Chains A and B, each alone.
Chain A
């Protein structure tokens, strides 16, 4: 938010919207404190229940709009998992669906005015990405044993190049959770912050129309980004899962 300061200048606080604070008074954020982040995670859960449980409760052959959207989301992720990882990846479909639904609902709920976006925090996306990274790594070793290390040994390259490539592959493998999490958090945070900056300029009457136009445009872009980032996170999870199930290039 911005407010005209005493000397007529503007004070911007574009990052204040990301502050995690207790919902029911106090300033200390303990482990189990109900915070605004907790509230919006709960709202995300309610959205998912509304869409996928209440929307489909009548099990109609000819779906209602809500059921249709639920089925669309199901079919979208199901097909993605099947296309990227193959039939054996379908066992992990509920897990991937959980990630996608959480991210997409949190992103969209966070776009509501005055909302808090849990997915704009590196703590949240980091846990999501580390969860994927650890699951996929453990799964790779359980499924393929030491053969999983073949992922780093590019057998199609000339023999002399293989050790060099192996080092690069290992580095890129361990960078995965970092890029995976920062991509999502960064996109969500940047969009919200930019909207806030434009909102700050709206306090100046002369610039207000332009500022409101810019907010509208950014908002449209953010709706797109919200979905695309959820999609990107999910499809990368599928790609990593594919590497774990079929480590040979």
Chain B
């Protein structure tokens, strides 16, 4: 820079900013520059940026609306799911209750049948036992009479007849 000082000797005394001989040049080129910038901005750059920004705003708005819509649908789907779940649960409860009642009634029926059968069987058995007891008593009496006769015959043969022995045994057995 210092090598050019010979060219700027006139300015070296003061500020180059106050060298009025360059003002017309600077002003002319400044006006040219500003006009060029103004036309570039107002014709090309600013409309383009404005359209990009509004387009982006539109896209964002649409996306938000779409997201809102999807959210609504998700909520609706969740509600439907919850409802279906509740329905299924109550249905299941109903089926369980039905099954329980059915089993209960089956059980009661089976119990009643079994009770009746048991009663019948026990009555039959009692009868059989009674019969057995009866026959056993008879048999015992028979055996007792025979033994008594034999004993009498063996101790005092002919002294007492069979009829009185039998009567005596019967009397003893009753007592």
Task: List residues of A whose CB falls within 8 A of some B CB.
Answer: 1-3, 11, 13, 15-21, 27, 29-33, 35, 37-38, 41-42, 44-45, 48-49, 52-53, 56-57, 59-61, 63, 67, 70-71, 74-75, 93-95, 97-98, 101-102, 118, 120-124, 127-128, 131, 185, 189
Contact = CB atoms under 8 A, between A and B. Distances in A.
Contacts of B38: 94-95, 98
Contacts of A41: 29-30, 32-33
Interface in B17-49: 17-19, 21-34, 36-38, 40-42, 44-46, 48-49
Contacts, number: 154
Contacts of B32: 41
A3 B1 CA distance: 10
A9 B2 CA distance: 15
Contact of A37 (B29, B36, B37): B29
Interface string B120-153: 0000000000000000000000000000000000
What does DSSP make chain A's interface, helix, strand, loop or mixed?
A: helix
B80 to A, nearest CB: 35
Interface residues of B, number: 45
Contacts of B42: 94
Given A33-B25, A94-B38, A75 B53 contact: yes
Contact of B2 (A1, A94, A127): A1
Nearest to B6: A27
Given A20-B25, A29-B25, A41-B33, A13 B49 contact: no
Nearest to B48: A56
A189 B23 CA distance: 17
Given A3-B2, A19-B4, A33-B25, A127 B30 contact: yes
Contacts of B52: 56, 59-61, 63, 67, 71
Contacts of A35: 22, 25-26, 29
Nearest to B20: A123
B8 A16 contact: yes
Closest 9 CB pairs of A and B: A52-B45, A94-B42, A20-B22, A18-B16, A1-B1, A41-B33, A123-B26, A19-B8, A123-B23
A102 B37 contact: yes
B15 interface: yes
B41 A52 contact: yes
B159 interface: no
- Most A C-beta atoms less than 10 A away, residue of B8, B12, B37: B37
B17 A13 contact: no
